[in-house]
Structure 1
Amino acid sequence: MDLNNIILFACAAFAAGIWQAALYSWHFPTLAIVAVLLLITSLWRIIRNYQHSFWPVISLFFVAGMLCYHQAVIVRADDIGNYAGQTVNIEGTLVAVPEITPIDEQKRRVRYLLKAEKVTPAGAKAACYVTGNIRINTQYKEETSKPAAYGDKIIVTGKLLELHGYNNPGQIDMVAALKRQGITARMSGQEQMLQVLTTYKGYSWQVVLANWRDRMITGLQQVMPVNDAAILTAVLFGGYQGINKDVISDFAATGLIHILSVSGAHIALVVGLITWLGRRLRWGSLFTVTLAAVVVILYACMSGLTPPVIRSALMGLISLLAVILERESYAPAALAVTALAMLIYQPLLLFDISFQLSFGATAGLVFLYQQTVEYLSNYPAWLAGTLAVTLSAQLSVLPVIAWYFNSFSLISFAANIIVLPVIELVIILGLAGVIIYTMVPVAGNIIFVISSLLIGLVMMLTELLAAVPYSLVYIPAIGIIGSVVYYFVLAWVYGWRPFKLPGPGQLIRQWPRSCSMAAVLLIITVAVYALYPQPLTVHFIDVGQGDATLIITPHGQAVLVDTGGTMGESDFDIGARVVAPYLKHYGVRAIDYLILTHGHQDHAGGAAGVASAIRVANVLLPQEKYSPPVQALLHTRPVAVIPAYTGQRFLLDEVIVSIEQAVDESEIILRAAGGNEVSSVVRVSYGQHSFLLTGDLPAQGEATLLTKGLASCTVLKVGHHGSRTSTTEPFLQAAAPKFAVISAGYGNQFGHPHPETLNRLAAREIVVYRTDKQGAIVFTSDGKQLKVEPYIK
């Protein structure tokens, strides 16, 4: 086996070792002993006969990957994250340029990165030295104060919190992404929590670069519309800030969303432009490659040297090195060495979506491109090449796209032919513009205006393509086993022939009848599986401080009760970014009934986002004045609105969904309109089990429900996130649940769930599951048996 293959297998074994160590807990000393034995065996085999050393070496890399993972997840004893949950004073230095986002005309949101140095817990007399970084989110008023700056030494006071995201299947793990940056805790509050001890007087290239980038953005905004300026800023420097949501959706639907963040495509474009100029101007190979390398490094610095940019730049530089050495055939090994080096430095990168997509797409170009061009040889050369690039990259990362996004853009092939050349021209003009603007602002502005016109053309084309029917198709997540089968078939189609397997063409020619029968049998099997009734599943989705419950019936009909919603001034759309992806991950492509127990933000705030991503047939609303979240839902797209009333019920695949209690208009007049007391109570019954969902119903509402006669339930969604004013003792006695689910946000300011509520549940020996501790909770039932599966065990 040649060196190329050995390097490829070594990289794959190292990655597999990381993945295996993440799945199962292993005894570290035992792994270390095994690694030493494998190292000795490998060296002995290499000395004796290197051709017999392959498996010991590959096994060594596998175990090394497991060891590296264990080292990466170890938390140091002096890490600041160990103080999470305590009120502390933290002294440290700001090690990144603060990110400032406008909230309104006066308020600004600031995000700091603090390198912790000393911590003093509340009540302690002496400070302790610590390590690690924390993220601080705060606000300030522009008229009365200004934020701290990079390099300042500050002291911050408040409650330190653990990093915590939305723990749902298929969700991008933002906590892991922060930990890869050395961030192990967080803190939020107002500007008064932070005090500058000493200001930084030294030179910082990060500050110089940030100020230069701000001047460029200001220059863009002066000569072009705000949305155009935001798009050009995104394609040059990365980030979606300021871009209209519809534009982002169109880019996603046409498969061009990667253009809005600096990636390998940008680096390849820069390298290609320099190479073309070098050939035209006869600069010579060495000078051209050297200049391209310098420009790549400068561009990476301009873009902020974020981890994805660094990865793209490294791959570009290694490709240039292969050109200098005239070893383009070493591209697979170069890619493997780059991936291996980055995984050794940071093993947790293996679970980063950006890492998976960038290296997966590049691997597709390296291994599949040439063969794909041959498959498309009947097309014109320029068309075959363009299609082959898109097809190779997409095929190589399809399982990853299915897992995280559950959609595939069929129109991306047309978009890459029609729109991508225009976008590439925008990038080239934009880069030229920012360079020229630095020296001659007037000339730079002219280029920016031309870029703005082209951006208008890009938005028009992407909108037209995104509107094409079935331009974006649903693809289900196929999991680990499905992915292994997929890549095995892909490799087989592209020429991998283990055990002398015949190729697909040869197989069809030699056994046409058998192949036809196998295809028909496969179609029948898939159809039977799709039509065969599945168990009922009830999902309590982790939406932080809010409620969202998904019911999927045996034949795949879906009911969504509440949608969560972000509290405060955050612009994070839980419906679009948490609930809708969760539904798609579980194959929900349409919602038969969306039931909002009441109109509060934490229950209905995500409704508009869900409706914009997934078709909603019917909406059940309480008979109260429509709150802003409900109004936003009704303005998103036309839906059938059904007023909720007590005794209402509907049957879906033998699953009964009934409204146990809902207030009518006369009751609303007597009560405080829009309060928790108007919460509808929903019961889901199937066979021997039922689920009672009480929204934010307080004790008074529970007492009213008891007077109507409350049947027992198997699972209770505890009212009002476990507050003290709900889930009273008489109510628990009547409901008599075996399981209780509390949907609450980690470290929420309300103290939910309240200890008194937890004590009442514990006194009745009710098994309690909490989304703030265990993430999404999924109950599965065939009508007789009931199983529960929390996301975090």
Structure 2
Amino acid sequence: MITEQINTIIVFACAAFAAGIWQAGIYSWHSLTLIVLAVLLLLTALWRVVRNYQQAFWPIIGLFFIAGMLCANLDSIVPADAISHHIGKTVTVTGIVDAVPEISQANTHGKQVRYVVKVQNVELEKTGANSASSGKVRINVLYKENGELAVYGDKITVYGKVRELRGYNNPGQIDMTVALKREGITARMSVQEQNIKLNTAYAGYSWRAALADWQAGIVRALQKVMPVNDAAILTAVLFGGYQGINKNVVDDFAATGLIHILSVSGAHIALVAGLIRWFGNQLRLGSRTTTVVAVLAIVFYACISGFTPPVIRSMIMGIISLLAILVERESYAPAALAITALGMLVYQPLLLYDISFQLSFAATAGLVFLYKPTYDYLSAFLPAWLAGPLAVTASAQLGVLPIIAWYFNNFSLISFAANILVLPVVELVIILGLTGVIIYTVVPVIGNLVFVISSLLIGLVMMLTALLAAVPYSSVYIPSVGISGSAAYYLLLAWFYGWRPLAVPGPGQLVRQRPGTCATTVMVIIGLLAVYTWYPRPLSVHFIDVGQGDAALIITPRGKAVLVDTGGSFSSSNYDIGERVVAPYLKHYGVTTVDYLILTHGHQDHAGGAAGIAGRVSVNKVMLPREEYSQAVQALVHTKPAIAIIPTYTDQRFQLDGVDVGIEHAVGENGRNQAVTGNEVSSVVRVSYGRHSFLITGDLEAKGEEALLAAKAVKPCTVLKVGHHGSKTSTTAAFLQALDPEYAVISVGYANRFGHPHPETIRRLTDRQTVIYRTDTHGAVVFKSDGRKLEVDTYIK
């Protein structure tokens, strides 16, 4: 009973602290107010402890909630000399390279190098003022093939403009800006090779640099004795990261629920600890000696993996679990888990928003709280060898389900089979890989032999995952449920697994005592869900933040979807905006099928993501301008299965659920694709519903606007998607006068090199008192209308 009370108090305290951090992220009170509340709660708790300690529970929980808000407030304070205060200024930064540089092949002529620099000094270009500074800045440099690179510990000078950290501000996506801030990185710079200078080479010893060199040597050894893809997979399971792995293989691992294996996590740490414990039992070393050896093995594994934050968290959790077993206090596992989470959040409150932290603790909590009852239930009708793995998988999956829904909207039904058939082979690969690494360091020839055996097993793993991923309905779409939905899910899950607050009867007891009421309740819930599914919703028009590009999503009252443009990256990286940004956005809002994909024209920033989207969601029809196909459009056309292509023409229209979608302007009425591409062939799309209409103009420039005005084809609209990202050559005064929009949306990248939107365009809009929304400052912009009223919401408030 005492153990249960201790677990309850600590778990609730940790949950309250996390809730306080979350609340501070939405709206936080002044620190002085929080301190006063904390003092009052502390006095109340002490008074109740003296009178009756059981009455002190809620004041203590409230105290932890306030403490979470205070901790988040303190963490958000930016030092006066931080580099982030110089955002937007051109400066000369002097500092120390604080991490092993990340090097990738940018193109055939050079390498993209990413440095993390710990800033020491900043000199302003305009005034020449020189001052000490703090914080870290991420610097991207494009080097020529033979350019001299800085290494960890070098002192360098960098000249350029300091930029704000910026990601894609859309719901349901991993916030990489917060991830960088957790590492102390608060600004970024992109500079040319000639603007970075090595001042002083590092003369000391760096274990990080030595570890990176050692890992690189191991990778080269792997690539000599096995295929490149096999080497990349073994590198991933040993050190983490997906670099070099075939995209189809990554997709198969994701579809089978084994994607976490490709990143060093708690599963790897648990495997190493379990293996050491097994050997200890076989050799009769004793529990204390075995635990010590297991802890040392975990620390060694974390070290060779690079001591990244996720690895450190997994290491701490593994060590606490081993110590709990050693002192025979496994019953305190919930308290140990909560204390670990609490300690990490106190040290770094922003960890609350880290997907790795969320998944690690949710999965571990699922195992701690749900494994035993799940195993007891399954073992009643399944053999132990099958019940065990199934209970582990089910417990972990139940723990992380709302998180998976929020970030990925995908649940692997085949994961149960994958964990039984594939996971044991993967675990053997990890064990052999680690053994091979150790042996190779001493006897390279024998180590290479172990690597070859590992490669054969990796081939078996790829074959099995490909077969399982190909099973129909191996994964299903699951909708995002948000904070309130997640809370309801976990409360319901706890109730099913035996949590009975206020003597609430369990599900079995309810069914036995009131079968009629339960049946009626189930029918009512099913009916409400059916009504909610089929009842018409407002039209929603989303302008997605895709950086320097365009992508607009129209969702009709009954859930049909039209996508106008897809965004796309101009950079030389392999980052696919369609696959990584737009497709997740669609799934987050329940869109698994795009009824019409309309590309205004074939430029990369409008069509570059099309093929990636078609590979992630079903696309029924594609409407294309009559122009020569660009590389991006060709990639879309050649996707499998083939998609129906419809050429666009002026006055082309279709209706979905009462929403009228029409092509106001299209170039090339001769029925053939023109040999010209560019902004001049950009189609203009109008979406009308009730009193309101939205005009999406692609990259239409002044000449195209004049043609529309001359043809008297311009009608007023409620919302204008400003042409060509707000460039000076679009959105002329005459065009605006004819449209008379109430709102204008500019889809534009933060601090883009084109200078969009142009001040003159902004002036023309403001002169007409048009309300302006920009994706670089507001993130995703969403309009909702029932045909009469119109509401607007932005991701960044």
Identity across matched positions, percent: 66
Determine whether 1:790 maps to 2:794. yes
Determine whether 1:658 maps to 2:638. no
1:743 counterpart residue number: 747
Paired letter, 2:563: L
Deviation at 1:675, TM superposition (A): 1.1
Q: 1:112 aligns with which of 108, 112, 115?
A: 115
1:358 counterpart residue number: 360
For residues 46 and 312 of structure 1, the distance between their equivalents in structure 2, rounded to whole angstroms, comes to 36
Are the aligned partners of 2:627 and 2:675 in contact in 1 as well (CA < 8 Å)? no
Deviation at 1:510, TM superposition (A): 2.2
Return 5+ residue gaps in structure 2 as ranges: none
Within-5 A mapping of 1:25-44: 25-44=28-47
Give the SS at the match of 1:470. coil
For residues 413 and 511 of structure 1, the distance between their equivalents in structure 2, rounded to whole angstroms, comes to 34
Are the aligned partners of 1:38 and 1:60 in contact in 2 as well (CA < 8 Å)? yes
Deviation at 1:284, TM superposition (A): 1.5
Are the aligned partners of 1:97 and 1:206 in contact in 2 as well (CA < 8 Å)? yes
Deviation at 1:122, TM superposition (A): 1.1
Deviations 1:715-753 (A, max 9, x none): 000000000000001110111100000000001000000
Give the SS at the match of 1:658. strand
Deviations 1:304-345 (A, max 9, x none): 111111100000011111122221111111101100000000
Paired letter, 1:443: I
Deviations 1:91-148 (A, max 9, x none): 00001010111234542111100001111111222311111001011111223x1211
Q: Aligned in 2, Cα 1:187/1:668: closer, same or farther, shift over 3 Å?
A: farther
Determine whether 1:376 maps to 2:382. no
For residues 598 and 192 of structure 1, the distance between their equivalents in structure 2, rounded to whole angstroms, comes to 37
Within-5 A mapping of 1:158-169: 158-169=160-171
Q: Give every structure 1 segment of 4 or more consecutive aligned residues whose post-TM-superposition deviation is greater than 4 Å.
A: 665-669
Q: 2:464 aligns with which of 441, 461, 465?
A: 461
Deviation at 1:374, TM superposition (A): 1.4
Within-5 A mapping of 1:340-489: 340-377=342-379, 378-489=381-492
For residues 126 and 785 of structure 1, the distance between their equivalents in structure 2, rounded to whole angstroms, comes to 53
1:523 counterpart residue number: 526
Deviation at 1:80, TM superposition (A): 0.3
Q: 1:780 aligns with which of 769, 772, 784?
A: 784
Q: Aligned in 2, Cα 1:624/1:436: closer, same or farther, shift over 3 Å?
A: same
Deviates more, 1:153-162 or 1:47-56: 47-56
Are the aligned partners of 1:256 and 1:412 in contact in 2 as well (CA < 8 Å)? yes
Deviations 1:264-315 (A, max 9, x none): 0000000000000111111121111101101101111111111111100000
Are the aligned partners of 2:540 and 2:783 in contact in 1 as well (CA < 8 Å)? yes
Deviations 1:488-543 (A, max 9, x none): 11011000112222211222222222222221221111111111111100000000
Q: 1:253 aligns with which of 255, 279, 283?
A: 255
Deviates more, 1:15-24 or 1:103-112: 103-112
Are the aligned partners of 2:159 and 2:191 in contact in 1 as well (CA < 8 Å)? no
Determine whether 1:625 maps to 2:622. no
Are the aligned partners of 1:687 and 1:783 in contact in 2 as well (CA < 8 Å)? yes
1:756 counterpart residue number: 760
For residues 657 and 245 of structure 1, the distance between their equivalents in structure 2, rounded to whole angstroms, comes to 36
1:277 counterpart residue number: 279
Q: Under a length normalisation based on structure 1, what TM-score does the superposition of the two structures give?
A: 0.98
Q: Aligned in 2, Cα 1:595/1:240: closer, same or farther, shift over 3 Å?
A: same
For residues 693 and 133 of structure 2, the distance between their equivalents in structure 1, rounded to whole angstroms, comes to 50
Within-5 A mapping of 1:48-63: 49-63=52-66
Deviates more, 1:97-106 or 1:301-310: 97-106
Deviations 1:30-71 (A, max 9, x none): 101111232333344445554433222222111100100111
Q: 2:505 aligns with which of 482, 485, 502?
A: 502
Deviations 1:767-786 (A, max 9, x none): 00000000000000011110
Give the SS at the match of 1:53. helix
2:224 counterpart residue number: 222
For residues 476 and 396 of structure 2, the distance between their equivalents in structure 1, rounded to whole angstroms, comes to 18
Paired letter, 2:90: T
Determine whether 1:93 maps to 2:112. no
Are the aligned partners of 1:668 and 1:678 in contact in 2 as well (CA < 8 Å)? no
Paired letter, 1:675: G
Paired letter, 1:560: L
Are the aligned partners of 1:624 and 1:665 in contact in 2 as well (CA < 8 Å)? no
1:70 counterpart residue number: 73
Deviation at 1:592, TM superposition (A): 0.3
Deviation at 1:667, TM superposition (A): 10
For residues 39 and 519 of structure 1, the distance between their equivalents in structure 2, rounded to whole angstroms, comes to 44
Are the aligned partners of 1:712 and 1:734 in contact in 2 as well (CA < 8 Å)? yes
Q: CA RMSD in A?
A: 1.3
Deviates more, 1:163-172 or 1:4-13: 4-13
Give the SS at the match of 1:293. helix
1:240 counterpart residue number: 242
Are the aligned partners of 1:593 and 1:616 in contact in 2 as well (CA < 8 Å)? yes
Deviation at 1:251, TM superposition (A): 0.6
Within-5 A mapping of 1:278-357: 278-357=280-359
Paired letter, 1:318: I
Q: 2:86 aligns with which of 64, 83, 88?
A: 83
For residues 106 and 230 of structure 1, the distance between their equivalents in structure 2, rounded to whole angstroms, comes to 24
Give the SS at the match of 2:615. helix
Paired letter, 2:21: I
Deviation at 1:668, TM superposition (A): 8.9
Paired letter, 1:780: K
Are the aligned partners of 2:628 and 2:675 in contact in 1 as well (CA < 8 Å)? no
Within-5 A mapping of 1:596-745: 596-637=599-640, 638-664=642-668, 673-709=676-712, 710-745=714-749
Determine whether 1:178 maps to 2:180. yes
Are the aligned partners of 1:676 and 1:698 in contact in 2 as well (CA < 8 Å)? yes
For residues 711 and 487 of structure 2, the distance between their equivalents in structure 1, rounded to whole angstroms, comes to 55
Q: Under a length normalisation based on structure 2, what TM-score does the superposition of the two structures give?
A: 0.98
For residues 125 and 419 of structure 1, the distance between their equivalents in structure 2, rounded to whole angstroms, comes to 62
Return 5+ residue gaps in structure 1 as ranges: none
Are the aligned partners of 1:103 and 1:109 in contact in 2 as well (CA < 8 Å)? yes
Are the aligned partners of 2:96 and 2:155 in contact in 1 as well (CA < 8 Å)? yes
Deviations 1:453-511 (A, max 9, x none): 11111111111111111111011111122112111110110001122222112222222
Are the aligned partners of 1:90 and 1:120 in contact in 2 as well (CA < 8 Å)? yes
Deviates more, 1:357-366 or 1:377-386: 377-386
Give the SS at the match of 1:750. coil
Deviates more, 1:323-332 or 1:223-232: 323-332
Give the SS at the match of 2:638. helix
For residues 388 and 705 of structure 1, the distance between their equivalents in structure 2, rounded to whole angstroms, comes to 65
Paired letter, 1:601: Q
1:771 counterpart residue number: 775
Deviation at 1:615, TM superposition (A): 0.3
Deviations 1:228-272 (A, max 9, x none): 111110011000101111111111110000001000000000000
For residues 5 and 661 of structure 1, the distance between their equivalents in structure 2, rounded to whole angstroms, comes to 65
Give the SS at the match of 1:749. coil
Deviates more, 1:100-109 or 1:62-71: 100-109
